[in-house]
């Protein structure tokens, strides 16, 4: 489920970036996108527990 949320957040932030011209909003969304991409890559790198 978390993987799905990461993918959806990344897609949403990229869509917002492509649609906005406000520099302040672009900077904010870029930061959010960077955090989400880092989390997504970290989640892929760490093996999942099988409880």
> One digit per residue, pLDDT tens: the chain, 51 residues?
788 998 999 999 999 999 999 999 999 999 999 999 998 877 666 565 555
Residue from 45, 3, 1, 22 nearest 11 by CA: 3
Residue 26: per-residue pLDDT? 97
State the pLDDT at residue 1: 77
Whole-angstrom distance, CA of residue 23 vs CA of residue 1: 32
Supply the pLDDT for residue 44: 67
């Amino acid at each position: 489920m978390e993987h799905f949320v990461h993918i959806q957040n990344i897609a949403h932030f990229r869509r917002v970036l492509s649609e906005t011209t406000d520099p302040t909003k672009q900077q904010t969304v870029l930061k959010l996108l960077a955090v989400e991409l880092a989390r997504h890559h970290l989640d892929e790198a760490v093996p999942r527990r099988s409880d």
